Amino acid sequence: MFDIDPKAIEQEFCFEEGKRWWNCPANRLPSVTKDFDLPESVILKDETIREGAVVPGRKPLSDMDLVKVALAMDEAGMTEMEVGFTAAVDEHRELATLLKKEGVKMKQSAHTRGWAEDWKAEIDGVIQNGADIVNLVCIGAVETEKFAYPHVKCKEDFGELYAKQIEYIKSQGAYAAFITSTNNTRLDLITQFHKQIGEAGVDRVYFADSFGSAIPETVKFMVYGIRDIIGADTEVAVHVHNDFGLGTANAVAAVTAGAKVVDVSINGLGDRGGMPSLDHVAATLETLYDVRTGVSMEHLKPLSDMVAELWGFPVEPHRAVIGDNMYRHETDMHIAALLSGMWYAYNVIKPETVGAESSLEFGPNALAKGDTSAVGTLIKLLGYKADTTQFDQILDLIREDIKGSDEGWATQEQVAKRINQVLGA
């Protein structure tokens, strides 16, 4: 339709091998990526089942609702999920058992409370209840949390306790993950604690910003620092919240510093402002950073729609990646380019890649005159040529359709019908 040079396009758009999306060439400049230490792949670990199931204002959820979501995540390629405090909360234990009974394949990560009076019994309970990953949650190193450890005299003693707990988990043959309030803890204590748990054989260490107060630069600094302390053999993970809208940015910042596990939830569900959303993190890493997540992206919108329906929280139309408006176009120039086959002109990701559909909507902003306009492009595609009078007649008929429409726009099919009405034999 237009005189487009394919060689020039290839220089301006870095297409994925299957041409499902493109990346900005500037994103790959050495001056941009010089500080990156990107892994080839990451694990996106689900928190929808734990954090999402306690979000205030949701619809009532049954255990079978959660099983339905977990099975859909299985099908999408997710490999890990958090099921909660399965030794301390009966409901969490029952759900974990049901998930396995119903055939959910994802590995289960379960929390143990590092502050529990009988923490050995709690670790034993989590393992006995089928946890694949024992997630040792330790609070107390920041002033507002140390009340939970009345038996620990000073903050410097926490590291010794953490190390004993990790050693015990490992002695039981389990995979040990460690999470504490990293971004609020004193740097000298972070260094001390991580040396101690590293020597105890911890398998995975989290940078945790459960308050959502960190900025991306802090996340990168802390992840690099933890990796330096803990050593290359230990997996670094990230758990952040979205209180300032920085959840995705902070999760991605952690990955650029070498984190290999990111906690996410569908539609960003979670405590307070929520968590990094599965769709945002998966699409950003796959598309813009060329990091594999193992998630089949065509499942992203169906998963989002399922959770929105079950939880009763509608997804905003302008939501990034999977919102309904992402692939709807009403601007004249956009429609003209997309009609000409250049899906990449005004979309970075093909709609079907994330399970969405495109829609070209001829509203008042899509009724420009001329051969290169949206209507003019469709006229050419249908094999016609219109003079000025005919073009005006077509536009007037489309305006009638728009006025009679509840949506305020005409479909491509309606516009084609009007073109055929005026120019057809």
Of 106, 111, 241, the C-alpha closest to 182 is: 241
pLDDT(268) > 70 = yes
| Beta pairing partners, 113 | 137
Which pLDDT score, from 0 to 100, does residue 350 have?
Answer: 92
DSSP one-letter string for 232-285: TTSEEEEEE--TTS-HHHHHHHHHHTT--EEEEBGGG--STT---BHHHHHHII
Of 415, 423, 321, the C-alpha closest to 361 is: 415
Query: How would you label 256-272 residue by residue, b for 16+ Cβ within 10 Å and e otherwise?
Result: bbbbbbbbbbbbbbbbe
Which pLDDT score, from 0 to 100, does residue 419 have?
Answer: 93
pLDDT digits over 55-86, tens only?
A: 999 999 999 999 999 999 999 999 999 999 99
Kindly report the CATH number that applies to the domain delimited by 32-311. Answer: 3.20.20.70
Report the C-alpha gap between 238 and 227 in whole angstroms. 12
Of 411, 403, 406, 387, the C-alpha closest to 335 is: 411
- Minimum mean pLDDT among 4-8, 166-170, 273-277, 330-334: which range? 4-8
pLDDT(140) > 70 = no
Which pLDDT score, from 0 to 100, does residue 7 have?
Answer: 72
Give 232's pLDDT tier (boundaries 50, 70, 90): confident
Which pLDDT score, from 0 to 100, does residue 142 have?
Answer: 58
Top-confidence residue, 100 or 144 = 100
Indicate the pTM of the whole model. Answer: 0.90
Which pLDDT score, from 0 to 100, does residue 155 have?
Answer: 61
Task: Please name the helix (run of DSSP H) or strand (run of DSSP E) that holds residue 208, with its range, or none.
Answer: strand 204-209
pLDDT(246) > 90 = yes
pLDDT digits over 350-405, tens only?
A: 999 999 988 999 999 999 999 899 999 999 999 999 999 999 999 999 999 999 88
Which pLDDT score, from 0 to 100, does residue 121 have?
Answer: 94
Chain center to CA of 360: 27
Which pLDDT score, from 0 to 100, does residue 13 have?
Answer: 80
CB-based contact 318:325 (threshold 8 Å): yes
DSSP at 408: S
Give residue limits of the domains in the chain: 32-311, 326-423
Report the C-alpha gap between 197 and 207 in whole angstroms. 14
Angle at 222 between CA 210 and CA 252, to 5 degrees: 70
- Rounded mean pLDDT, 273-284: 96
Which pLDDT score, from 0 to 100, does residue 1 have?
Answer: 55
Angle at 383 between CA 378 and CA 386, to 5 degrees: 70
Residue with tokens 């990790």: 166
Which pLDDT score, from 0 to 100, does residue 157 have?
Answer: 73
Report the C-alpha gap between 119 and 113 in whole angstroms. 7
Average model confidence (pLDDT) across the chain: 90
pLDDT(285) > 80 = yes
126 token code pair: 């989590």
